[in-house]
């Protein structure tokens, strides 16, 4: 779209406007790819201001900006830049996307619901891309920002658009509806997920249904009574295309038979037929049936529908970070490949590489079904690769190989297909690199991944960094804009991996990190973490490490303070930052309030150290029965902090609230708060549902039939009372699966069912009862996560979630996922 047209849509007409074509809308300054064709929207949030990044973007040759304020230096330093001044850049982005959408008279599929939106979208792309040239939302771009960015991708070659729309509170869908304006609607399901912004399920259904105000047809599951009632009451103009078990459902489900795969008997327009999908969980069955309805509505031949469904694959909805051989790190994004998602993945690779100081390698397949001419497409790809600073390129496919000369890299090789690459010597020649695998599905890049990744334990701890960021932002909504955050990354970041968690917090503008011991902080510094880091237990033998890596110690006693001052003198340091701990009633570590005058006198008589903050710990902020004691602690601490602050001329931060304190005593947030277990989905309020961050999972190694009267495991503790199917899973107490969960106390999640532990938990193995569970060898098993929560496991073990998370052994591989 021409810049002049954009200015007209936004009702702003600057003088001497250049006639340039804007191809890219930019909302994250780190994602700049094509500065001459990009327009930056400077959003303001509680924690950040896009206007702060305009000078940096200008230095990178970007010249076009949508802003809500004009700073003095904009026109003085950037005379050739164009600033479109609007009241609200987000509203401007949405208005622009709405105008762009209005140019297209093609089928547009809008998908909303509680779960399954991204999977349905990706499956529809796979099932329909042979029939249509499709534009779809990248990843899970379904927010107030993600939806307009997705819709902007529509172009003259597009024959079908598929877009997700997600909301978290009332009033949001009215803004998204005119941007998507779907002609075809899919409501995946109505569940309790993301319920915080709604008074109940009915209100959430009513809000989500606003997406389909102008739709021609709405696909939904009529077995969900509340959803069907909500649809009827919404009085939509759309034709209703329902599926379910009712006799009058348009697509009637007659029978579902689960085994290795699932066979579903269906009836449509008096014709009975079967479909088979390679999944047996209920969520996948529902998602597949949504897809079947759309394909029937689009009149795809039944033979094509049944054949394509057999080949559905799991959707990798997140960028997956894995440890590779010989010091490599692998970013796995092998499900699809297009220009938008390539740019997103390269930005992520850049952020990872900057921290780890690794060379960047891109393994890229042909990019299919874009509708662009091949030459123009690979000119774009080559420009993107150059702009993102890729060090080494491996191109796989005929089309990218034909465009080899467009890539101006010293290190580049090309292969006709994946098999050709796997037979080459180059597959063995990776060392100390961060490798991005970015391939269209038909190139089977999973075979490359299996060769490159480090082969270790089948048991993994999956860490959802998007959920972690969501939880972090939830707590920030409870804070004043000026309140800082200190996040705990001690104890291997509660078992989830301190480096990746610290990097995520740094990228999301956390203010401080906290570790237990100096060695933890030193490791973070070696991995490129530059945020201030507080050491909670600064042992005397670790002072040199603290100085060398610029860590900041907690000081809790006179003896420790004297020793630390003496150490700073040896290093000839002055004003080294320290954090003073006050014992306000927990009686663990800290200066007593009556020791404050002596502490002040000692600190005033030296210049080696300087107080950065004064803080204390709450003993029972998570429990209502201790509320009076908590208030007393806050009062005691505030008095002590005032006494210290009044004695010095510089600003001294104060902080006492932990995760529970932020939720229950936010009026006492002071200058900073400390977040720990809350970041990992533990809330201390009844109506708040945070997103699970960590999923401990394994696989079924073997299934064996055991006769009634036999026993299973050590000590013959697992007594079998009926003929049973017993599964063996490769996790035991050495991995962090507590031995007390044996003999029917613990349970795991397999294919939508709970399976109890049989017999004793062994060091490396555990047995589970699969008699009533459809399962096969190799199937995934959730130990804890969305279905078996850490709180539920902690309750069974009569412990706390902290212990569950921190007990996961380091021999369990951590796998990180991010959009």
Would you put residue 494 in left (φ > 0), alpha (ψ -120 to 50) or beta? left
Known active-site residue 169: no
Catalytic residue among 490, 581, 697, 813: 490
Nearest Cα residue to 339 out of 380, 298, 278, 398 = 380
Catalytic residue among 2, 408, 632, 714: 714
Residues facing 51 on adjacent strands: none
CB atoms within 10 A of CB 300: 17
Provide the pairing of β-strand 609-615 with 64-67. unpaired
Cα gap 16→63, rounded to integer Å: 14
Strand, helix or coil for residue 507: helix
CB 456 within 8 A of CB 643: no
Given the structure tokens 């590779």, which residue do they identify? 324
CB 618 within 8 A of CB 657: yes
CB 190 within 8 A of CB 115: no
- CA angle, residues 479, 44, 102, in degrees to nearest 5: 130
Given the structure tokens 């915080």, which residue do they identify? 196
Cα gap 177→207, rounded to integer Å: 11
Tokens of 708: 């009634």
Nearest Cα residue to 796 out of 763, 757, 762, 766 = 757
Tokens of 763: 């060091």
Tokens of 109: 């599929």
Tokens of 218: 């709405």
Tokens of 288: 């597949």
Tokens of 156: 């003259």
Strand, helix or coil for residue 640: helix
Q: Describe the strand order of the beta sheet including 184-187 as a list of residue ranges.
A: 134-136, 160-164, 108-112, 184-187, 217-221, 239-244, 251-258, 262-268, 271-277
Cα gap 415→393, rounded to integer Å: 11
Nearest Cα residue to 381 out of 417, 339, 345 = 339
**Contact residues for 396 (Cβ-Cβ < 8 A; gap 6+):** 363, 364, 365, 366, 414, 415, 416, 417, 418, 420, 421, 439, 443
Residues facing 724 on adjacent strands: 706
Cα gap 152→709, rounded to integer Å: 65
Cα gap 251→222, rounded to integer Å: 10
Nearest Cα residue to 17 out of 64, 58, 62, 60 = 64
Known active-site residue 816: no
- CA angle, residues 558, 560, 561, in degrees to nearest 5: 60
Strand, helix or coil for residue 584: coil
Structure letter (DSSP) for residue 608? S
- CA angle, residues 107, 110, 114, in degrees to nearest 5: 160
CB 182 within 8 A of CB 83: no
Given the structure tokens 């994004």, which residue do they identify? 333
**Contact residues for 500 (Cβ-Cβ < 8 A; gap 6+):** 321, 463, 465, 493, 814, 816
Show which residues are catalytic. Answer: 490, 714
């Amino acid at each position: 779209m021409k810049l002049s047209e954009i200015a007209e849509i936004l009702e702003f007409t600057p003088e001497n406007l250049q006639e340039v074509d804007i191809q890219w809308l930019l909302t994250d300054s780190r994602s700049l790819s094509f500065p001459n064709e990009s327009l930056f929207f400077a959003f303001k949030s509680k924690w950040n201001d896009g206007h702060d990044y305009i000078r940096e973007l200008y230095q990178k040759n970007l010249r076009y900006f949508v802003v809500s304020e004009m700073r003095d230096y904009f026109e003085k330093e950037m005379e050739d830049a164009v600033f479109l001044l609007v009241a609200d850049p987000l509203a401007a982005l949405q208005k622009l996307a709405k105008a762009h959408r209005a140019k297209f008279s093609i089928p547009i599929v809008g998908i909303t619901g509680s779960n399954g939106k991204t999977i349905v979208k990706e499956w529809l792309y796979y099932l329909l891309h042979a029939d249509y040239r499709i534009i779809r939302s990248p990843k899970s771009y379904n927010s107030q920002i993600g939806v307009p960015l997705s819709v902007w991708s529509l172009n003259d070659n597009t024959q079908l658009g598929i877009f997700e729309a997600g909301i978290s509170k009332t009033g949001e869908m009215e803004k998204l509806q005119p941007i998507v304006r779907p002609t075809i609607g899919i409501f995946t399901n109505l569940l309790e997920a993301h319920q915080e912004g709604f008074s109940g399920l009915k209100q959430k259904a009513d809000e989500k249904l606003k997406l389909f105000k102008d739709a021609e047809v709405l696909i939904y599951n009529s077995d969900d009574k509340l959803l069907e009632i909500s649809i009827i009451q919404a009085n939509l103009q759309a034709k209703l295309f329902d599926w379910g078990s009712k006799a009058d459902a348009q697509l009637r489900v007659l029978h579902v038979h689960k085994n290795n795969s699932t066979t579903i008997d269906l009836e449509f327009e008096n014709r009975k037929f079967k479909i088979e999908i390679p999944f047996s969980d209920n969520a996948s069955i529902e998602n597949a049936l949504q897809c079947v309805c759309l394909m029937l509505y689009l009149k795809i031949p039944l033979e094509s529908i049944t054949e394509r469904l057999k080949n559905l694959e799991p959707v990798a909805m997140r960028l997956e970070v894995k440890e590779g051989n010989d010091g490599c790190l692998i970013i796995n994004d092998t499900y699809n490949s297009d220009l938008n998602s390539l740019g997103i993945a390269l930005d992520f690779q850049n952020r990872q590489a900057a921290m780890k100081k690794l060379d960047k390698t891109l393994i890229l397949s042909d990019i299919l079904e874009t509708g662009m001419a091949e030459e123009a497409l690979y000119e774009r790809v080559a420009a993107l690769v150059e702009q993102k600073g890729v060090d080494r390129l491996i191109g796989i496919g005929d089309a990218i190989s034909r465009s080899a000369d467009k890539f101006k890299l010293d290190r580049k090789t090309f292969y006709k297909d994946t098999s050709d690459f796997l037979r080459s010597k180059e597959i063995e020649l990776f060392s100390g690199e961060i490798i991005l695998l970015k391939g269209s599905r038909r190139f089977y890049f999973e075979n490359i991944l299996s060769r490159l990744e480090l082969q270790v334990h089948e048991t993994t701890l999956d860490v959802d960094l998007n959920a972690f960021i969501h939880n972090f932002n939830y707590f920030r909504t409870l804070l004043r804009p000026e309140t800082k955050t200190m996040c705990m990354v001690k104890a291997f970041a509660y078992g989830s991996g301190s480096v990746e968690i610290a990097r995520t917090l740094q990228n999301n503008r956390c203010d401080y990190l906290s570790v237990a011991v100096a060695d933890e902080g030193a490791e973070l510094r070696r991995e490129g973490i530059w945020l201030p880091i507080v050491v909670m237990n600064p042992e005397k033998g670790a002072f040199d490490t603290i100085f060398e890596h610029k860590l900041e110690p907690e000081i809790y006693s006179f003896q420790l303070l004297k020793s630390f001052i003496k150490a700073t003198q040896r290093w000839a340091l002055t004003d080294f930052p320290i954090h003073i701990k006050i014992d306000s009633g927990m009686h663990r570590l800290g200066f007593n309030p009556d020791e404050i005058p002596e502490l002040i006198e000692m600190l005033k008589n030296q210049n080696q150290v300087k107080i950065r903050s004064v803080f204390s710990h709450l003993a029972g902020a998570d429990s209502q029965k201790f509320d009076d004691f908590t208030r007393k602690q806050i009062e005691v601490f505030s008095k002590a902090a005032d006494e210290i602050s009044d004695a010095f001329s510089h600003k001294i931060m104060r902080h006492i609230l932990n995760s529970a304190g932020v939720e229950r005593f936010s009026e006492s947030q002071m200058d900073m708060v400390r977040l720990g277990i809350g970041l990992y989905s533990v809330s201390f309020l009844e109506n708040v549902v945070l997103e699970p961050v960590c999923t401990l999972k394994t696989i079924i190694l073997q299934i064996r039939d055991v006769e009634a009267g036999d026993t299973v495991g050590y000590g013959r503790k697992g007594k079998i009372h009926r003929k049973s199917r017993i599964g063996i899973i490769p996790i035991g107490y050495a991995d962090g699966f507590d031995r007390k969960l044996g003999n029917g106390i613990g349970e795991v999640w397999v294919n939508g069912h709970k399976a109890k532990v049989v017999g004793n938990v062994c060091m490396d193995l555990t047995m589970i009862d699969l008699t009533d569970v459809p399962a096969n060898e190799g199937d995934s098993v959730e130990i804890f996560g969305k279905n078996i929560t850490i709180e539920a496991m902690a309750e069974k073990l009569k412990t706390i979630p902290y212990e569950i998370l921190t007990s996961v052994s380091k021999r369990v591989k951590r796998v990180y996922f991010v959009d």
